[in-house]
């Protein structure tokens, strides 16, 4: 529930979420008696593969399909328009993990970062969008070159 609260409150960082936790807002809003600190949240969330979320998100999407919620988002001949965009969500010169992409600067320093390809079903006449499971932009096994949006889009479409 605390991880859900962190995302539902759209905290820009774990530090901001931790501040809300200390102020008591999270416990009040989400009825959580003991909200864990940011270190505990990292210990619980970091080992999770983003791919482990796909079945849950697919289940919610299928429920929306069965409930006819997606019909309003169709365009030409019943097709949907999907917008894709790459975005960065972590960057550091000191903190890194095995999944980090790396950028080597001219001065020899290295920046580690994470990126993803976000996707959403959109309609030009609607303000709401329907987000889809993002695809991580990763370093491919056995290569030294970073992945890119094009390769992530190919994986996204296949999935």
The CA-based diameter of the chain, rounded to the nearest angstrom, is 56
pLDDT at 109 over 90: yes
- Is the pLDDT score of 127 beyond 60? yes
Report pTM.
0.70
pLDDT score of 30: 67
Average pLDDT, the chain: 82
Question: For the segment 15-25, what is each residue's pLDDT rounded down to a tens digit?
Answer: 777 777 666 66
Query: How do the domains of the chain map onto residue ranges?
Result: 1-48, 49-159
pLDDT in tens, 74-96: 988 889 999 999 988 888 899 88
Q: 29-53, pLDDT tens digit by residue?
A: 667 777 777 778 778 877 888 788 8
Q: In the structure, what pLDDT confidence band is assigned to residue 125 with cuts at 50, 70 and 90?
A: very high
**Do the beta carbons of residue 122 and residue 83 sit within 8 Å?**
yes
* Closest residue by Cα to residue 84 from 138, 131, 126: 131
Length of the chain: 159
DSSP lists the bridge partners of residue 85 as 118
Contact partners, residue 129, CB within 8 Å, separation at least 6: 83, 120, 121, 122
């Amino acid at each position: 529930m605390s991880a859900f609260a962190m995302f539902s409150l759209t905290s820009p960082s774990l530090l901001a979420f931790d501040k809300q936790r200390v102020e008591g807002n999270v416990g009040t809003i989400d009825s959580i008696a003991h909200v864990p600190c940011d270190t505990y949240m990292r210990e619980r969330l970091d080992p999770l593969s983003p791919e482990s979320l796909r079945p849950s998100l697919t289940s919610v999407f299928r429920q929306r399909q069965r409930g006819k919620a997606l019909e309003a988002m169709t365009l030409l001949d019943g097709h949907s328009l999907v917008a894709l965009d790459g975005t960065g969500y972590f960057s550091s010169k000191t903190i890194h993990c095995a999944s980090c992409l790396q950028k080597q600067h001219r001065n020899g320093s290295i920046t580690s970062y994470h990126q993803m390809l976000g996707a959403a079903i959109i309609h030009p006449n609607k303000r709401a969008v329907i987000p889809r499971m993002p695809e991580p932009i990763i370093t491919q096994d056995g290569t030294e070159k970073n992945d890119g949006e094009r390769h992530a889009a190919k994986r996204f479409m296949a999935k």
